[in-house]
Structure formats: structure tokens, C-alpha cells
Amino acid sequence: MSRVFNFSAGPSCLPEEVLKECAAEMLDCNGTGQSVMEMSHRSAAFEPIIAHAESQVRKLMKVPQNYKVLFLQGGGSTQFAMVAQNLAIHSGKAAYIQTGVWAKKAAAEAKKLGVKVDIVASSEDKNYSYIPRVEKISGEYDYAYICFNNTIMGTHYEYIPETGNIPLVADISSCVLSEELDVSKFGLLFAGAQKNLAPAGVTLVIIREDLISEKTLEGTPTMLSYKTHADADSMYNTPPCYTIYVLGKVLDWIERNGGAAGMQKRNAEKAKLLYDYLDSSDFYHATAEVGSRSLMNVPFLTKYSAGAKDEASVAKENEINKKFVAQAAATGLVNLAGHRLVGGMRASIYNAMPIEGVKALVDFMEKFAKENS
Ligand SMILES: *Cc1c(COP(=O)(O)O)cnc(C)c1O
């Protein structure tokens, strides 16, 4: 059996070491004679597993004392509603920066819940290929919201907007622990696990304690109140036990590899290899603008996507893209199809993607360009 290099945007590759550890402990974890999948979440066997995951999040992300770390369910998408239901409780107004699909979905969800949403900046004018520069957000907002890494558009903030007393909320689903991040600059951070942390099923929430309130928007279910989960240490109901277990192991792997700083160095090296090649090629080009480029998700087009929208050009473009994705898969480089909103291809090169995978991709791209120029 040989493993492929998996460039999926999510769920995505996990460190092989972690998968092997999980396999070795599948039938008997820590001498309990049980798989973690079979353990009661309230047992003495599981208690240290969730405690370890939390302490590793705190250590690796340098989470300040006055923040709670929560393990929730419902994915990043449930946070779009939860943020609004729990934070829009004073003025009922919130500021959103619109940088693509995920930021738009979050704003739409807040609106649906009756929040007055102000889009204070947007990069829609250029198909979200850059991050707008917003020096300061001020006003009577209950929170300001950003999507820190835009998985589909391949863009990432290279700065943190200044919001003064307004709590800043950031969706870090696709960049969590890919780099160093000053948690104290944010009121709330959240990340669905399946991009950079663990298999799908757990959502990490880091929330400043003063934002956890009994008060929520009217009609908010118990399960969607942060207070419910904070008071119960993420054990109000059955948590996603196995995913939390794998999360702890991925965090140990991150620690062994230099922590957030180590990941950042490794990721910068990987991304540079790919962007340098894209920028030097006359066959391919990256879609995200310099100064806004994600280290995690790299969408790119070929010269056949030059913008001509007549039927023949579009057909040629689709044919080349399909050929690229199929031939890459045949050489063990899988899940490279682009998102339909950007077109072309997308390589997601999360923490667990080794540099060898990126080197293999660039080699394949060179060969493909030669054969199809
Ligand atoms: C994948 C993703 C989401 C959605 O996550 P789900 O867990 O599928 O709900 C939200 N935001 C970003 C930035 C993502 O990449």
C-alpha cells in the first residue's frame, strides 16, 4: 500500500505518525482494554484525554488565563449563528469584512437572526482575490467579524484590524496553528477541526471570559449558548470523544515539530516553493494577490483561463483542468480540483502536508506545462 499526497481543502491529510499511533491504540488505549471510541465520556479513562487536548491548545496557542477553550460540535458553520446569538446582545449591530464565501455565509446567518450587519469592507470587486486593508473599525458594534484565512479564495490577513473595545471575532478554521497568533487581540476565535487539527467532528472555540453571558438572543437553544458549554467544561452533552483524542495527538505532533513557530517556518517554506514556481511560470498563475496570499490554500489557473468566455475557450479551459487533475491523481497527487468560484486548481498545503508533497506537485506541474503548452 502506498499513501498519496492529499491536497484536499478539508477534510485533509493528517500526520502519518498520528495515524499510526491511533492505529496502534485502536483496540486498547492506555491499558484500558478499550478503544477511545467505546469509552464513556465521563469515565476516568477519557477524562485525561480531553484535559490533555485542552492543555495542549492552551500551551501551543499561548491562550491567556482569561479565555475559555471549548470543544463543540456543528462545525465552523454552526459558529456563524452562535457568534451572533451570543454576542449581538447589546446594540444588536455587528461589523463584517467580506472576503469570500465563508465570511458571506457568516454575515448572512447573523442577518437571519435579526442582527444589523454592516459590511465595513469587501474585496468583491476583484472576485475576493485580496484582503482589504481596514486600519480601524469603530462604532457601536457588539463585535467585528473576519475570516482570517479564506480557504476557497486562497487569501489570508497579513495584519489584524484594530477594533479598540469592540471584540474581534475570527474564523481560523483553515489556518489554526499554521502560524503564531496573538490570541489576546481577539475576543473569540473558532476553527472547525478538519482542515488543520483533527478529523471532522469537533470545533475549537477560544472565547474571552467576559463575552460568555447568560444573555443570548431570544430563542437561542441551550446547546447554542457558549455559557452552557463553558460551565460544563465542554461536557454538557457527549462531546466528539474520538476526534478530541486525535486532536490531542495532532497537537503533540505540532509540539514535537516546533509548535506554532515551527509550523509557520515549515509552511512558509512550502508555500514559497509553490508561489515562486507559479510566479515564474508562463503556463500557470496564482489567483491571490501578493500581500494577501494564504500559506494554506493555493488556487491557481492555467494560461487557458485567460478570461475569454466564448464557448470554445471555456471548453478548452475545462478540458485542461480536468486533464491536470486526473493526471496528477494518477501520479499520487490527489484532490487538486479548484473550487468552482475560482476555477482551475487548488492545492491545500496544511500543516500535515510534507515539503516532499509540494516538491512532487511542482515537478508534476512543470512536466504538465511542457506537455500542454
Ligand atoms: C471549511 C470552512 C468552514 C466550514 O466548516 P464546517 O466545519 O464544514 O462547517 C468555515 N470557515 C472556513 C474558513 C472554512 O475553511
Tens digits of residue pLDDT in 230-255: 999 999 999 999 999 999 999 999 99
Q: What are 208's three cell numbers?
A: 474571552
Q: What atom in ligand 1 is closest to the CA of residue 78?
A: 9
Separation of CA 349 and ligand 1 centre (Å): 16
Q: Which of 343, 345, 314, 313 is nearest to 329 (CA)?
A: 345
Instruction: Please give the grid coordinates belonging to residue 64.
Output: 491567556
CA of 139 to the centre of ligand 1 (A): 28
Give the pLDDT means over successive 10-residue stretches in the chain (373 positions).
93 97 97 97 97 98 98 98 98 98 98 98 97 96 98 98 98 98 98 97 98 98 98 98 98 98 98 98 97 98 84 91 97 96 95 98 98 94
- Closest residue by Cα to atom 4, ligand 1, is 76
Residue closest by Cα to atom 7 of ligand 1:
75
SS (H, E, C) 54-70: HHHHHHHCCCCCCEEEE
Residue 118, judged by CB atoms within 10 A of its CB (0-12, 13-18, 19+), counts as middle
Give residues with Cβ within 8 angstroms of 296, minimum separation 6: 149, 151, 156, 174, 175, 178, 195, 196, 267, 271, 348, 349, 350
Q: What is the pLDDT of residue 1?
A: 65
How far apart CA 233 and CA 287 sit, in angstroms, is 42
Q: 153 C-alpha to center of ligand 1: Å?
A: 13
Report how far Cα 305 is from the mean position of its chain's Cα atoms.
27
Determine if the peptide bond prior to 11 is cis (ω within 30°).
Answer: yes
Amino acid 313: pLDDT? 87
Cβ neighbours of residue 273 closer than 8 Å, sequence gap 6 or more: 355, 358, 359, 362
Q: Give the Cα separation of 56 and 320 in Å (integer).
A: 44
Average pLDDT, the chain: 97
Nearest alpha carbon, ligand 1 atom 8: 75
Q: What's the confidence (pLDDT) of residue 292? A: 98
Q: How far apart are CA 239 and CA 233, in angstroms?
A: 10
Q: Which atom of ligand 1 is nearest to the CA of 194?
A: 7
What pLDDT, on the 0 to 100 scale, is given for residue 372?
96
